[in-house]
Protein backbone atom coordinates (compact mmCIF):
# COMPACT_ATOMS: atom_id res chain seq x y z
CA UNK A 1 0.00 0.00 0.00
CA UNK A 2 1.59 3.33 1.06
CA UNK A 3 4.97 1.67 1.57
CA UNK A 4 4.71 -0.24 -1.71
CA UNK A 5 5.28 -3.60 -0.08
CA UNK A 6 1.83 -4.96 -0.79
CA UNK A 7 -1.29 -4.08 -2.77
CA UNK A 8 -4.67 -3.03 -1.43
CA UNK A 9 -6.22 -6.14 -2.99
CA UNK A 10 -3.70 -8.37 -1.21
CA UNK A 11 -4.41 -6.63 2.09
CA UNK A 12 -8.19 -6.98 1.75
CA UNK A 13 -7.83 -10.63 0.72
CA UNK A 14 -5.71 -11.30 3.80
CA UNK A 15 -8.30 -9.79 6.14
CA UNK A 16 -11.19 -11.56 4.43
CA UNK A 17 -9.39 -14.85 5.04
CA UNK A 18 -8.82 -13.91 8.67
CA UNK A 19 -12.50 -12.99 9.11
CA UNK A 20 -13.64 -16.30 7.62
CA UNK A 21 -11.21 -18.26 9.80
CA UNK A 22 -12.42 -16.45 12.94
CA UNK A 23 -16.14 -16.35 12.18
CA UNK A 24 -16.83 -18.09 15.51
CA UNK A 25 -15.85 -14.87 17.32
CA UNK A 26 -19.04 -13.26 15.93
CA UNK A 27 -17.23 -9.94 15.58
CA UNK A 28 -18.88 -9.09 12.24
CA UNK A 29 -22.58 -8.92 11.50
CA UNK A 30 -21.89 -8.35 7.82
CA UNK A 31 -18.77 -8.47 5.64
CA UNK A 32 -18.57 -6.41 2.45
CA UNK A 33 -16.25 -8.82 0.63
CA UNK A 34 -16.95 -8.06 -3.03
CA UNK A 35 -17.32 -4.35 -2.44
CA UNK A 36 -14.08 -4.13 -0.43
CA UNK A 37 -12.13 -6.03 -3.11
CA UNK A 38 -13.52 -3.78 -5.83
CA UNK A 39 -12.57 -0.64 -3.91
CA UNK A 40 -9.11 -2.09 -3.23
CA UNK A 41 -8.65 -2.70 -6.97
CA UNK A 42 -9.63 0.90 -7.73
CA UNK A 43 -7.22 2.22 -5.10
CA UNK A 44 -4.38 0.13 -6.53
CA UNK A 45 -4.90 1.86 -9.87
CA UNK A 46 -4.47 5.36 -8.44
CA UNK A 47 -1.29 7.32 -9.09
CA UNK A 48 0.88 8.08 -6.06
CA UNK A 49 -0.03 11.77 -6.10
CA UNK A 50 -3.71 11.00 -5.67
CA UNK A 51 -3.61 8.67 -2.68
CA UNK A 52 -5.12 9.75 0.63
CA UNK A 53 -3.76 9.61 4.18
CA UNK A 54 -5.52 6.26 4.76
CA UNK A 55 -4.84 4.74 1.35
CA UNK A 56 -5.73 1.04 1.56
CA UNK A 57 -6.33 1.05 5.32
CA UNK A 58 -8.88 -1.68 6.08
CA UNK A 59 -11.50 -0.42 8.53
CA UNK A 60 -14.51 -2.00 10.27
CA UNK A 61 -17.35 0.07 11.74
CA UNK A 62 -19.62 -0.55 14.70
CA UNK A 63 -23.24 -1.33 13.85
CA UNK A 64 -24.42 2.07 15.10
CA UNK A 65 -22.55 4.08 12.43
CA UNK A 66 -24.36 4.76 9.18
CA UNK A 67 -22.87 3.68 5.86
CA UNK A 68 -24.97 4.63 2.84
CA UNK A 69 -26.95 1.78 1.26
CA UNK A 70 -25.72 -0.67 3.89
CA UNK A 71 -27.65 -2.20 6.75
CA UNK A 72 -27.36 -0.62 10.19
CA UNK A 73 -29.30 -2.20 13.04
CA UNK A 74 -27.68 -1.15 16.34
CA UNK A 75 -27.62 -4.94 16.94
CA UNK A 76 -31.37 -4.75 17.54
CA UNK A 77 -34.36 -6.60 16.13
CA UNK A 78 -36.29 -3.34 15.99
CA UNK A 79 -34.11 -2.08 13.10
CA UNK A 80 -34.42 -5.34 11.19
CA UNK A 81 -33.75 -4.84 7.46
CA UNK A 82 -33.06 -1.11 7.71
CA UNK A 83 -30.47 0.39 5.33
CA UNK A 84 -28.94 3.82 5.81
CA UNK A 85 -29.72 6.47 3.22
CA UNK A 86 -26.58 8.49 3.96
CA UNK A 87 -23.02 8.22 5.26
CA UNK A 88 -22.01 9.25 8.74
CA UNK A 89 -19.57 12.16 8.53
CA UNK A 90 -16.82 9.97 10.00
CA UNK A 91 -17.42 7.36 7.28
CA UNK A 92 -17.45 10.05 4.58
CA UNK A 93 -14.03 11.26 5.74
CA UNK A 94 -12.56 7.77 5.95
CA UNK A 95 -13.60 7.07 2.37
CA UNK A 96 -12.31 10.43 1.14
CA UNK A 97 -8.82 9.55 2.42
CA UNK A 98 -8.71 6.11 0.78
CA UNK A 99 -9.89 3.79 3.57
CA UNK A 100 -11.61 0.51 2.74
CA UNK A 101 -14.62 -0.43 4.88
CA UNK A 102 -14.69 -4.20 5.16
CA UNK A 103 -17.80 -4.74 7.32
CA UNK A 104 -19.97 -3.79 10.27
CA UNK A 105 -19.27 -5.04 13.77
CA UNK A 106 -21.52 -6.65 16.34
CA UNK A 107 -22.19 -4.70 19.56
CA UNK A 108 -24.47 -4.48 22.57
CA UNK A 109 -27.95 -3.45 21.44
CA UNK A 110 -28.14 0.33 20.97
CA UNK A 111 -24.67 0.51 22.56
CA UNK A 112 -26.12 -0.41 25.96
CA UNK A 113 -23.87 -2.83 27.79
CA UNK A 114 -20.43 -3.59 29.14
CA UNK A 115 -19.98 -7.17 27.96
CA UNK A 116 -21.43 -7.58 24.44
CA UNK A 117 -23.98 -10.04 25.84
CA UNK A 118 -26.91 -7.82 24.82
CA UNK A 119 -26.78 -8.12 21.02
CA UNK A 120 -29.84 -9.51 19.25
CA UNK A 121 -27.34 -11.44 17.12
CA UNK A 122 -25.43 -13.30 19.81
CA UNK A 123 -22.34 -12.74 21.93
CA UNK A 124 -18.99 -11.59 20.61
CA UNK A 125 -16.17 -13.77 21.95
CA UNK A 126 -12.87 -12.49 23.29
CA UNK A 127 -10.15 -13.79 20.93
CA UNK A 128 -7.77 -14.24 23.86
CA UNK A 129 -10.20 -16.50 25.76
CA UNK A 130 -13.51 -17.41 24.15
CA UNK A 131 -15.10 -18.07 27.55
CA UNK A 132 -14.64 -14.41 28.48
CA UNK A 133 -16.43 -11.28 27.32
CA UNK A 134 -14.68 -8.83 24.99
CA UNK A 135 -16.22 -5.86 26.79
CA UNK A 136 -18.91 -3.59 25.52
CA UNK A 137 -20.64 -2.06 23.99
CA UNK A 138 -18.15 -1.93 21.10
CA UNK A 139 -17.00 -5.51 21.64
CA UNK A 140 -17.16 -6.54 17.99
CA UNK A 141 -15.05 -3.57 16.92
CA UNK A 142 -12.46 -4.30 19.61
CA UNK A 143 -12.20 -7.99 18.70
CA UNK A 144 -11.87 -7.11 15.00
CA UNK A 145 -8.63 -5.27 15.79
CA UNK A 146 -7.54 -7.70 18.51
CA UNK A 147 -7.82 -10.73 16.19
CA UNK A 148 -6.31 -8.96 13.14
CA UNK A 149 -9.57 -8.94 11.19
CA UNK A 150 -8.93 -5.32 10.13
CA UNK A 151 -6.35 -2.61 10.73
CA UNK A 152 -8.55 -0.06 12.48
CA UNK A 153 -12.12 -0.03 13.71
CA UNK A 154 -14.57 2.62 14.82
CA UNK A 155 -16.76 2.24 17.88
CA UNK A 156 -18.85 4.58 19.99
CA UNK A 157 -18.21 5.56 23.59
CA UNK A 158 -21.05 6.82 25.80
CA UNK A 159 -19.57 5.70 29.12
CA UNK A 160 -16.52 3.61 28.27
CA UNK A 161 -17.71 1.57 25.30
CA UNK A 162 -14.41 2.01 23.46
CA UNK A 163 -11.94 2.13 26.37
CA UNK A 164 -13.36 -0.81 28.32
CA UNK A 165 -13.35 -3.35 25.45
CA UNK A 166 -9.93 -2.05 24.40
CA UNK A 167 -8.74 -2.88 27.91
CA UNK A 168 -10.31 -6.35 27.86
CA UNK A 169 -8.82 -7.09 24.42
CA UNK A 170 -5.33 -5.65 24.96
CA UNK A 171 -5.43 -2.89 22.32
CA UNK A 172 -5.51 0.92 22.20
CA UNK A 173 -8.94 2.55 22.51
CA UNK A 174 -9.47 6.31 22.22
CA UNK A 175 -12.54 8.35 23.18
CA UNK A 176 -11.93 11.91 22.00
CA UNK A 177 -13.34 15.03 23.65
CA UNK A 178 -17.08 15.48 23.36
CA UNK A 179 -17.64 17.26 20.05
CA UNK A 180 -14.26 16.36 18.55
CA UNK A 181 -15.79 13.96 15.99
CA UNK A 182 -19.17 14.65 14.40
CA UNK A 183 -22.03 12.49 15.68
CA UNK A 184 -23.90 12.88 12.38
CA UNK A 185 -24.74 9.35 11.32
CA UNK A 186 -24.19 7.83 14.76
CA UNK A 187 -27.37 6.24 16.14
CA UNK A 188 -28.02 8.12 19.37
CA UNK A 189 -28.00 6.54 22.82
CA UNK A 190 -27.39 9.57 25.07
CA UNK A 191 -26.70 12.63 22.95
CA UNK A 192 -24.73 14.68 25.48
CA UNK A 193 -22.42 11.73 26.18
CA UNK A 194 -22.01 9.89 22.84
CA UNK A 195 -18.74 10.12 20.93
CA UNK A 196 -17.29 8.07 18.08
CA UNK A 197 -14.03 6.42 19.16
CA UNK A 198 -11.13 4.60 17.55
CA UNK A 199 -9.52 1.18 18.10
CA UNK A 200 -6.00 0.41 16.93
CA UNK A 201 -2.84 -1.52 17.68
CA UNK A 202 -0.77 1.63 18.23
CA UNK A 203 -1.05 5.24 19.32
CA UNK A 204 0.34 6.30 15.94
CA UNK A 205 -2.48 4.56 14.08
CA UNK A 206 -5.16 6.08 16.29
CA UNK A 207 -3.62 9.56 15.92
CA UNK A 208 -3.69 9.34 12.12
CA UNK A 209 -7.32 8.25 12.00
CA UNK A 210 -8.33 10.96 14.49
CA UNK A 211 -6.86 13.74 12.37
CA UNK A 212 -8.83 12.43 9.38
CA UNK A 213 -12.29 12.05 10.94
CA UNK A 214 -12.30 14.87 13.53
CA UNK A 215 -13.36 18.44 12.90
CA UNK A 216 -16.20 20.82 12.18
CA UNK A 217 -19.32 19.56 10.47
CA UNK A 218 -22.38 21.53 9.35
CA UNK A 219 -24.54 18.50 10.13
CA UNK A 220 -23.68 18.49 13.88
CA UNK A 221 -24.18 21.69 15.85
CA UNK A 222 -22.36 20.25 18.89
CA UNK A 223 -19.08 19.53 17.11
CA UNK A 224 -16.07 21.74 17.80
CA UNK A 225 -15.15 24.25 15.10
CA UNK A 226 -11.50 24.42 16.15
CA UNK A 227 -8.94 23.56 13.51
CA UNK A 228 -7.73 19.97 13.75
CA UNK A 229 -3.95 19.61 13.94
CA UNK A 230 -1.99 16.84 12.26
CA UNK A 231 -1.93 14.63 15.34
CA UNK A 232 0.25 12.02 13.63
CA UNK A 233 2.94 14.67 13.13
CA UNK A 234 2.75 15.86 16.75
CA UNK A 235 4.05 12.63 18.27
CA UNK A 236 7.52 13.98 18.93
CA UNK A 237 7.64 14.61 22.68
CA UNK A 238 8.57 11.11 23.82
CA UNK A 239 11.15 12.47 26.27
CA UNK A 240 9.06 15.30 27.68
CA UNK A 241 8.18 15.04 31.37
CA UNK A 242 4.63 15.65 32.55
CA UNK A 243 2.78 16.53 35.73
CA UNK A 244 0.21 13.79 36.30
CA UNK A 245 -2.56 13.39 38.85
CA UNK A 246 -4.35 10.32 40.10
CA UNK A 247 -7.30 9.81 42.44
CA UNK A 248 -6.23 7.92 45.53
CA UNK A 249 -9.86 6.96 46.18
CA UNK A 250 -9.96 5.36 42.73
CA UNK A 251 -6.77 3.37 43.19
CA UNK A 252 -7.84 2.18 46.64
CA UNK A 253 -11.50 1.58 45.82
CA UNK A 254 -12.88 -1.70 47.15
CA UNK A 255 -14.09 -2.76 43.68
CA UNK A 256 -10.60 -2.70 42.14
CA UNK A 257 -8.83 -6.01 41.52
CA UNK A 258 -5.72 -6.29 43.72
CA UNK A 259 -3.40 -7.13 40.82
CA UNK A 260 -4.60 -4.12 38.84
CA UNK A 261 -4.08 -1.92 41.90
CA UNK A 262 -0.58 -3.28 42.43
CA UNK A 263 0.42 -2.89 38.77
CA UNK A 264 -0.78 0.70 38.59
CA UNK A 265 0.95 1.66 41.82
CA UNK A 266 4.18 0.13 40.53
CA UNK A 267 3.81 1.98 37.24
CA UNK A 268 3.29 5.25 39.12
CA UNK A 269 6.62 4.71 40.85
CA UNK A 270 8.28 3.99 37.51
CA UNK A 271 6.83 7.17 36.07
CA UNK A 272 8.37 9.09 38.96
CA UNK A 273 11.71 7.36 38.41
CA UNK A 274 11.47 8.39 34.75
CA UNK A 275 11.23 12.05 35.75
CA UNK A 276 7.48 12.66 35.69
CA UNK A 277 5.69 14.33 38.60
CA UNK A 278 2.88 12.03 39.71
CA UNK A 279 0.73 13.10 42.65
CA UNK A 280 -2.44 11.98 44.38
CA UNK A 281 -5.23 14.53 44.42
CA UNK A 282 -8.31 14.42 46.66
CA UNK A 283 -11.47 13.23 44.96
CA UNK A 284 -14.38 12.22 47.15
CA UNK A 285 -17.03 11.99 44.44
CA UNK A 286 -16.20 8.59 42.95
CA UNK A 287 -19.27 6.84 44.40
CA UNK A 288 -21.57 9.47 42.84
CA UNK A 289 -20.24 8.99 39.31
CA UNK A 290 -22.04 5.81 38.26
CA UNK A 291 -25.46 6.80 39.68
CA UNK A 292 -25.30 10.24 38.03
CA UNK A 293 -24.22 8.70 34.74
CA UNK A 294 -27.00 6.11 34.59
CA UNK A 295 -29.70 8.58 35.59
CA UNK A 296 -28.70 11.03 32.87
CA UNK A 297 -27.96 8.56 30.07
CA UNK A 298 -31.12 6.54 30.58
CA UNK A 299 -33.16 9.75 30.61
CA UNK A 300 -31.66 10.74 27.26
CA UNK A 301 -32.08 7.20 25.92
CA UNK A 302 -35.78 7.14 26.79
CA UNK A 303 -36.21 10.21 24.62
CA UNK A 304 -33.88 9.17 21.77
CA UNK A 305 -35.32 5.68 21.40
CA UNK A 306 -38.92 6.86 21.25
CA UNK A 307 -38.48 7.23 17.49
CA UNK A 308 -38.28 3.45 17.03
CA UNK A 309 -41.95 2.58 16.85
CA UNK A 310 -42.29 0.28 13.82
CA UNK A 311 -44.25 2.78 11.74
CA UNK A 312 -41.80 3.98 9.08
CA UNK A 313 -39.00 1.41 9.20
CA UNK A 314 -37.66 -1.63 11.02
CA UNK A 315 -39.54 -4.31 12.91
CA UNK A 316 -43.33 -4.04 13.26
CA UNK A 317 -45.58 -6.40 15.20
CA UNK A 318 -47.86 -8.36 12.85
CA UNK A 319 -50.88 -9.10 15.07
CA UNK A 320 -54.22 -7.34 14.80
CA UNK A 321 -54.61 -4.35 17.12
CA UNK A 322 -57.46 -2.32 18.49
CA UNK A 323 -55.51 0.96 18.49
CA UNK A 324 -52.15 2.55 17.74
CA UNK A 325 -51.03 2.51 21.37
CA UNK A 326 -51.37 -1.27 21.51
CA UNK A 327 -49.38 -1.56 18.26
CA UNK A 328 -46.56 0.55 19.75
CA UNK A 329 -46.49 -1.55 22.91
CA UNK A 330 -46.36 -4.87 21.06
CA UNK A 331 -43.75 -3.66 18.58
CA UNK A 332 -41.42 -2.15 21.14
CA UNK A 333 -41.84 -5.05 23.59
CA UNK A 334 -40.82 -7.57 20.94
CA UNK A 335 -38.32 -5.37 19.11
CA UNK A 336 -36.18 -4.19 22.02
CA UNK A 337 -34.05 -6.50 24.15
CA UNK A 338 -34.16 -6.76 27.93
CA UNK A 339 -31.32 -4.33 28.69
CA UNK A 340 -32.65 -1.66 26.35
CA UNK A 341 -36.12 -1.92 27.88
CA UNK A 342 -34.62 -1.70 31.37
CA UNK A 343 -32.85 1.56 30.51
CA UNK A 344 -35.83 3.09 28.72
CA UNK A 345 -38.01 2.37 31.76
CA UNK A 346 -35.42 3.77 34.17
CA UNK A 347 -35.04 6.89 32.03
CA UNK A 348 -38.78 7.40 31.82
CA UNK A 349 -39.03 7.03 35.59
CA UNK A 350 -36.37 9.64 36.41
CA UNK A 351 -38.00 12.09 34.00
CA UNK A 352 -41.48 11.63 35.43
CA UNK A 353 -43.13 14.55 37.21
CA UNK A 354 -42.83 13.16 40.71
CA UNK A 355 -39.16 12.22 40.48
CA UNK A 356 -37.57 14.69 38.03
CA UNK A 357 -36.08 16.98 40.69
CA UNK A 358 -35.12 14.16 43.04
CA UNK A 359 -33.13 12.27 40.40
CA UNK A 360 -32.54 14.04 37.08
CA UNK A 361 -31.93 17.51 38.48
CA UNK A 362 -29.65 16.17 41.23
CA UNK A 363 -27.65 14.15 38.67
CA UNK A 364 -27.18 17.27 36.55
CA UNK A 365 -25.88 19.08 39.62
CA UNK A 366 -23.41 16.26 40.30
CA UNK A 367 -22.29 16.47 36.67
CA UNK A 368 -21.61 20.18 37.07
CA UNK A 369 -19.61 19.64 40.27
CA UNK A 370 -17.57 16.95 38.52
CA UNK A 371 -16.91 19.30 35.60
CA UNK A 372 -15.78 22.16 37.84
CA UNK A 373 -13.57 19.85 39.90
CA UNK A 374 -11.95 18.48 36.75
CA UNK A 375 -11.28 21.97 35.39
CA UNK A 376 -9.42 22.86 38.57
CA UNK A 377 -7.30 19.70 38.37
CA UNK A 378 -6.30 20.39 34.77
CA UNK A 379 -5.14 23.89 35.68
CA UNK A 380 -2.38 22.22 37.69
CA UNK A 381 -1.82 18.89 35.92
CA UNK A 382 -1.30 17.75 32.33
CA UNK A 383 -3.22 14.50 32.77
CA UNK A 384 -5.10 12.17 35.09
CA UNK A 385 -4.39 8.44 35.21
CA UNK A 386 -6.66 5.75 36.58
CA UNK A 387 -7.58 2.11 36.06
CA UNK A 388 -9.70 1.57 32.95
CA UNK A 389 -11.75 -1.20 34.55
CA UNK A 390 -12.08 -2.69 38.05
CA UNK A 391 -11.20 -6.21 36.83
CA UNK A 392 -9.90 -7.99 33.73
CA UNK A 393 -12.34 -9.54 31.26
CA UNK A 394 -14.88 -11.65 33.15
CA UNK A 395 -16.58 -14.83 32.00
CA UNK A 396 -19.88 -14.89 30.14
CA UNK A 397 -22.83 -14.92 32.51
CA UNK A 398 -20.74 -13.83 35.48
CA UNK A 399 -22.45 -10.44 35.87
CA UNK A 400 -25.44 -10.67 33.53
CA UNK A 401 -27.91 -11.55 36.30
CA UNK A 402 -26.97 -8.51 38.40
CA UNK A 403 -27.51 -5.22 36.54
CA UNK A 404 -26.05 -3.16 39.37
CA UNK A 405 -22.81 -5.14 39.40
CA UNK A 406 -22.61 -4.77 35.61
CA UNK A 407 -23.19 -1.01 35.87
CA UNK A 408 -20.38 -0.73 38.42
CA UNK A 409 -17.97 -2.17 35.84
CA UNK A 410 -18.09 1.33 34.31
CA UNK A 411 -16.93 3.08 37.48
CA UNK A 412 -13.67 4.38 35.99
CA UNK A 413 -14.70 5.11 32.40
CA UNK A 414 -17.96 7.09 32.74
CA UNK A 415 -16.14 10.00 34.37
CA UNK A 416 -14.61 11.17 31.06
CA UNK A 417 -18.04 11.16 29.39
CA UNK A 418 -19.70 13.06 32.24
CA UNK A 419 -17.19 15.89 31.94
CA UNK A 420 -16.53 15.62 28.19
CA UNK A 421 -12.75 15.13 28.29
CA UNK A 422 -10.72 12.77 26.07
CA UNK A 423 -9.67 9.41 27.45
CA UNK A 424 -7.60 6.53 26.18
CA UNK A 425 -6.96 2.98 27.36
CA UNK A 426 -3.38 1.78 26.89
CA UNK A 427 -2.52 -1.95 26.86
CA UNK A 428 0.30 -2.02 29.40
CA UNK A 429 -0.21 -4.98 31.73
CA UNK A 430 -1.02 -8.66 32.01
CA UNK A 431 -3.10 -10.39 34.69
CA UNK A 432 -2.47 -13.78 36.31
CA UNK A 433 -5.71 -14.91 34.65
CA UNK A 434 -3.86 -14.64 31.36
CA UNK A 435 -5.90 -11.62 30.25
CA UNK A 436 -4.52 -8.19 29.39
CA UNK A 437 -5.51 -5.00 31.15
CA UNK A 438 -4.64 -1.39 30.64
CA UNK A 439 -4.25 2.06 32.10
CA UNK A 440 -6.66 4.92 31.44
CA UNK A 441 -5.24 8.34 30.67
CA UNK A 442 -7.29 11.55 30.48
CA UNK A 443 -6.39 15.12 29.56
CA UNK A 444 -8.28 18.40 29.46
CA UNK A 445 -10.93 19.03 26.79
CA UNK A 446 -9.47 19.43 23.29
CA UNK A 447 -6.02 18.29 24.45
CA UNK A 448 -5.82 15.16 22.30
CA UNK A 449 -2.31 16.12 21.18
CA UNK A 450 -1.09 16.00 24.77
CA UNK A 451 -3.05 12.80 25.41
CA UNK A 452 -1.47 11.03 22.45
CA UNK A 453 2.04 12.22 23.28
CA UNK A 454 1.80 11.08 26.90
CA UNK A 455 0.34 7.78 25.70
CA UNK A 456 3.29 7.26 23.41
CA UNK A 457 5.76 7.99 26.20
CA UNK A 458 3.97 5.55 28.52
CA UNK A 459 4.14 2.79 25.93
CA UNK A 460 7.80 3.58 25.30
CA UNK A 461 8.47 3.26 29.04
CA UNK A 462 6.47 0.07 29.10
CA UNK A 463 8.61 -1.43 26.33
CA UNK A 464 11.66 -0.78 28.45
CA UNK A 465 9.95 -2.92 31.11
CA UNK A 466 9.86 -5.73 28.52
CA UNK A 467 6.07 -5.97 28.49
CA UNK A 468 4.94 -7.13 25.08
CA UNK A 469 2.86 -4.50 23.27
CA UNK A 470 1.92 -4.91 19.61
CA UNK A 471 2.60 -1.65 17.81
CA UNK A 472 2.22 -2.57 14.16
CA UNK A 473 1.49 0.65 12.27
CA UNK A 474 -0.91 1.31 9.38
CA UNK A 475 1.14 4.14 7.93
Identified catalytic residue from 89, 114, 119, 137: 137
- According to DSSP H, which parts of 54-104 are helical? 89-96
137 annotated active-site: yes
Angle at 196 between CA 133 and CA 435, to 5 degrees: 25
The residue from 73, 89, 153, 161 that is catalytic is 161
Q: Are strands 423-430 and 436-442 parallel, antiparallel or unpaired?
A: antiparallel
Cα(81)–Cα(89) distance, integer angstroms: 22
Active site (annotated) includes residue 386:
no
Distance of CA 132 to the CA centre of its chain: 19
CA–CA dist 403, 48 (Å, integer): 53
Count Cβ atoms within 10 A of the Cβ of residue 11 and give its class: 0-12 exposed, 13-18 middle, 19 or more buried. Answer: buried
Residues belonging to the chain: 475
**CA distances to 95, 127, 361 from 354, in Å:** 49, 47, 12
Q: Is residue 62 annotated as part of the catalytic site, yes or no?
A: yes
Write down the catalytic residue from 62, 175, 180, 201.
62
Instruction: Report the candidate in 65, 60, 85, 67 with the shortest Cα–Cα distance to residue 75.
Output: 65
Could you give the CA distance from residue 355 to residue 104 in angstroms, rounded to a whole number? Answer: 39
Q: Which of 139, 132, 142 is nearest to 111 (CA)?
A: 139
Sheet holding 436-442, edge to edge: 28-31, 100-105, 58-62, 152-156, 196-200, 172-175, 423-430, 436-442, 383-387, 243-247, 277-281
> CA 433, 436, 437, 439: dihedral to nearest 10 degrees?
150
Residues labelled as active-site residues: 62, 137, 161
Amino acid sequence: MLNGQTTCVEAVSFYLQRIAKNAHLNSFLEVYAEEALQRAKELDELQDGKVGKLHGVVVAIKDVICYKEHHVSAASKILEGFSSIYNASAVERLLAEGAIIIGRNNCDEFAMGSSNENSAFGNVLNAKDSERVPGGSSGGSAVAVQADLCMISLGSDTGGSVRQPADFCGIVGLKPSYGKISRYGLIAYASSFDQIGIFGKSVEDVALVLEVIAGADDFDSTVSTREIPAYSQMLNDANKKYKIAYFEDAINHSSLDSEIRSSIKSFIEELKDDGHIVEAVPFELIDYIVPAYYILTTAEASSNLSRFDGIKYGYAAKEDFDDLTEFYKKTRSAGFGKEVKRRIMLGTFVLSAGYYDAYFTKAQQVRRILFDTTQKIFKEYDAIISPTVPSPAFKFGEKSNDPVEMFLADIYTVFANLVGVPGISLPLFSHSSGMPFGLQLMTSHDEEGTLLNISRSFIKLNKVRNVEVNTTNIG
